[in-house]
Amino acid sequence: MAFEVYQLPEEHQAIRAAVRELCDAKVAPNAAEADEAAEFPQASYDALRASEFHAPHIPVEYGGAGADALATAIVIEEVARACVSTSLIPAVNKLGTMPLLLGASDELKDRYLPPVARGEAMFSYCLSEPEAGSDAGGMTTKAVRDGDDYVINGAKRWITNAGVSDYYTVFAVTEPGIGTRGISAFVVEKADPGVSFGAPEKKLGIKASPTREVYFDNVRIPASRMIGGPGEGFKIAMQTLDHTRVTIAAQAVGVAQGALDVARGYVRERQQFGKPIADFQGVQFMIADMGMKLEAARQLTYAAAARSERGDADLTYFGAAAKCFASDAAMEITTDAVQLLGGYGYTRDFPVERMMRDAKITQIYEGTNQVQRIVMARQLLKGIV
């Protein structure tokens, strides 16, 4: 029997070790300050870029590291263990570029993927709108054909790394009145006339990753910047999320691991009633449950990553399941870590309060966990899984 299938290949273990070493040295030390200042973690980005961990998924033919879906998930997991805000750099670079990898022309790929691979630009994803969150098909941003161009008008909300990224995958209605079949996707550049940004959102967590609205005021772009064909945008958007929900699951696993690591060290050292609190059964039960949930989430995430790499028919289910289970687990584990540290856990002297705040977003973005359960149920009832 091939028991080795249940162990990561050596090259993936090596990637984990390399990312962890880098993050312990050059990402974790910046996390608290970046969170406190609510500023983009430039030093951490520079460290990731120097080691080619900022966008590891970009194929080799475009100058990238060519990491597979599992390796990319491991990178994001390990960065999130140190700083969830920083993990949004490789995660959102994948989110923004995945539509190109799935459906763009060779011309678009050749133009926009190499700068991301070199770390000269980042790529964001513009799907949500003020009145179109879970109901992404209800978007009102429009792209109107004008000769060899399209003119885009509208606004996108909750856009991660907006204002920092140079490139944006933007979804807009090109044929009104036919629902999601009338949505197309485009590449828009920050430098395009008419592109502007709202003020940074003041958030509970991931404070060092800027979240802003993006405005399009008569933004004229060449028709060649359409990703795929007219009306294919919504399909590309949903296919993208099937793949990138795995990265959110990896984020959740990473922050949960970070919280467990801190809590495990603390309970071994903290003395009460003349002995370490790790000796108390109530504490041991909490640690055991945290570890059990974490490993279950990790294995489901890796199973989803393998399906993402292969493009399996049941990826939609596994991507939703991994994102939903791992983020719920991360919220529970980080909350328990705060509890185990007691009063110290509630202060900024320890990182678990930040981890708890950061973990919450993984239950919300790229589809709330309520939406994930709808997705899973539909897949199960169709007999796809």
Question: What letter does residue 129 receive in the DSSP assignment?
Answer: B
Count of Cβ atoms closer than 10 Å to residue 94 Cβ: 28
Rounded Cα distance, 376 and 381, in Å:
9
* Helix H or strand E segment including 58: none
Helix 233-269 with 84-103: angle, nearest 10 deg? 160
Rounded Cα distance, 313 and 93, in Å:
24
Would you call 232 a catalytic residue per the annotation? Answer: no
Nearest by Cα to 260 from 235, 280, 241, 288: 288
77, 129, 353, 366: the catalytic one is 366
Rounded Cα distance, 331 and 319, in Å:
18
Nearest by Cα to 57 from 49, 46, 48, 65: 65
For 297-325, letters b (16+ CB in 10 Å) and e give bbebbbebbbbbbeeeeebbbbbbbbbbb
Can you read off the two tokens belonging to residue 187? Answer: 């590449």
Contacts of 374 (CB under 8 A, 6+ apart): none
Nearest by Cα to 133 from 167, 153, 156, 154: 156
Phi and psi torsions of 96, nearest 5°: -70, -35
Rounded Cα distance, 149 and 127, in Å:
21
Rounded Cα distance, 276 and 178, in Å:
64
In this structure, the strands spanning 123-126 and 167-173 are parallel
User: What is the set of active-site residues?
Assistant: 366
